[in-house]
Chains A and B, each alone.
Chain A
Amino acid sequence: MKREEIEQLLAEYVNGEITPPNRQQLEELFGEFPELKKEADEMLAAWQSLSRLEENVQPGTAMDDQFYAMLQRAKTDQRQGARVISINKTWLQAAAAVIICFAAFGIGRFTASPVPVFKYKTVYVKQPVQPSAPVQQPAAIAAVAPAKAAPVAVQPAEPVTAPAASADNSELAQQLRSVYTSERIGAVMKITGKGELTDTDLQILSMALREDPNSNVRLTILDALRPLASHQNVQAALISAMGKQDDPLIQTSIVDMLVDAKSKQAIPQMIVLLDDKNTPPTMQNKIKAGIESFLN
């Protein structure tokens, strides 16, 4: 057995922590080496003398007094601490509520858009005109936004009035009732581009000539009808439209066409216009010249 192992056994022996097998092993060593037994006994005696040393020196009573005073202070602090904590909890809850309110206000204030955005949208609703129904204004406008402080509202470029077409449901008739001028002009071009005009087509064009709000559309119709001005039914359409024009240019064009076609049946309507005080002088002169040409 090594010297270190014997030392460790002796350390266990003096401390009393030695296990029974180790004790037996050590006793065997004691029998074999009596000097080791002597050394162990001396160490054990020295160890036990330390116990007497411990008994000899005792702490003073002042230490006990100080400890119990300190313990009393700790108890007092503990009670006060518990009360302070309960008060603090209440205040903390109130403070937390206030902080949350301010935080929510701040977040809303600084993250919201500074200028509200208003969007306006104009919706046009196309409605087919019923034969027996009166002419309707087809536009319905819906504004999708609060009404205040509207920056710019998108409005149509012209009054929303579509011509009241005749009772047919053809595609071209539908186009002639479009809110878009370009579509209506396109419809006129398609109708006249077919070559021959049926009575229905003429009826549609006559209706549009009387009631279309856009002068360009009416001029397009007049241009389309100009080659056909010699036809009686075309002349009738022109005559019926002549008195309902508010644009002098259109009226002049119609009068020119009727004069060129030498349409005598237009004379009564021309006389009506001549007698009308609202008819411009240039128009009156043109009507007079036309009637004179008929008489000659």
Chain B
Amino acid sequence: MLCVKNDDLDKAAILYERYKKKLYHFFLYKNKNDQELSEDAVQQVFYRMIKYRKSYKDEASFSVWVYGIARNVQYQNYKDQVKMNDTHANYQTTETYTFVNDEHQAMRQAIALLPETYREVLVMSKFMDLKYEDIAVLNNCSVGVIKTRVFRAMQSLKEVYLKIS
């Protein structure tokens, strides 16, 4: 990232290849498995990463920094989504989640049904490969709280997993 910060944009491709799947899954679970929206969100993250590369601090962890961008992008998308939903309120249909036979689809739905606080720490830990300490810093809480949330998220997923298996 330091090379990118010093205007060596070719190195951005390396970062993209390294983090695109993590970010994609992060957005996928945030956006309720909407692949197109998640791909756009990943594009926005890397666009902002290049645009605001000078704001990267040398001593900071890139994972934490890029996750901050991802969270801002997600928040912006959420606001846009709310606005769009207000505009098309008359055409909105209530979404329901049903377990299907497909194992992966069932797990994804189970993750989507988790409370936001649990789902976020699970995604950050599992798909963004962030350590519990980093997640605690990002969420401004203690490491113990994060571990408890992960445990409870896994308990919920365990039940789904056992049903499937």
B-contacting residues of A (Cβ < 8 Å)?
Answer: 4, 7-8, 10-12, 14-15, 17, 39, 42-43, 45-47, 49-54, 56-60, 62-64, 66-68, 70-71, 74-75, 78
Of the residues B50, B152, B158, contact of A46 by C-beta under 8 Å: B158
Interface size class of B (residues with CB under 8 A): 35 or more
CA distance A57 to B25 in the complex (A): 8
Q: How many Å lie between the Cα of A14 and that of B50 in the bound state?
A: 35
**Which residues of B come within 8 Å of A, CB atoms?**
7, 9, 12-13, 16, 20-21, 24-25, 28, 35, 38-39, 42-43, 46-47, 50-51, 103-104, 107-108, 125-127, 131-132, 144, 146-148, 150-152, 154-155, 157-158, 160-162, 165
Asked whether B161 lies within 8 Å of A42 as measured between CB atoms, the reply is yes
Q: Does the CB pair B151–A8 fall under 8 Å?
A: yes
Q: Which residues of chain A have C-beta atoms less than 8 A from B160's C-beta?
A: 46
Min CB distance, A175 to chain B, in Å? 88
- A67 in complex: contacting residue of B43, B104, B127, B151, CB < 8 Å: B43
Nearest CB of B to A257, in Å: 109
Complex Cα distance, B87 from A250, in Å, reads 118
Q: What separation, in Å, do the CA atoms of A64 and B146 have in the docked complex?
A: 33
Q: Are B131 and A67 in contact (CB under 8 A)?
A: no
Q: Which one of A10, A62, A78 contacts B39 once the chains associate, using CB atoms below 8 Å?
A: A62
Q: Give every chain A residue within 8 A of B127 (Cβ-Cβ).
A: 50, 54
- Looking at B20, B47, B126, B154, which has the most chain A CB atoms within 10 Å of its CB? B154
Chain B residues with Cβ below 8 Å from A42 are 158, 161-162
Extra inter-chain contacts (12) besides given A7-B152, A45-B161, CB under 8 Å: A11-B146, A39-B158, A43-B155, A45-B158, A45-B165, A46-B158, A46-B160, A50-B157, A53-B108, A57-B108, A59-B35, A59-B39
A12 surroundings in chain B (CB, below 8 A): 132, 147
Q: Are B147 and A70 in contact (CB under 8 A)?
A: no
Q: List 29 A-B contacts (CB under 8 A).
A: A7-B147, A11-B146, A11-B147, A11-B148, A12-B132, A14-B150, A15-B125, A42-B158, A43-B154, A46-B161, A46-B162, A49-B103, A50-B107, A54-B25, A57-B104, A58-B21, A59-B21, A59-B24, A59-B38, A63-B20, A63-B43, A64-B20, A67-B16, A70-B50, A71-B9, A71-B13, A71-B50, A74-B9, A74-B12
A4 to B146, CA, bound (A): 12
Contact present for B47 and A70 (CB under 8 Å):
yes
Task: List, in ascending order, chain A residues with CB within 8 A of B132's CB.
Answer: 11-12, 15, 17
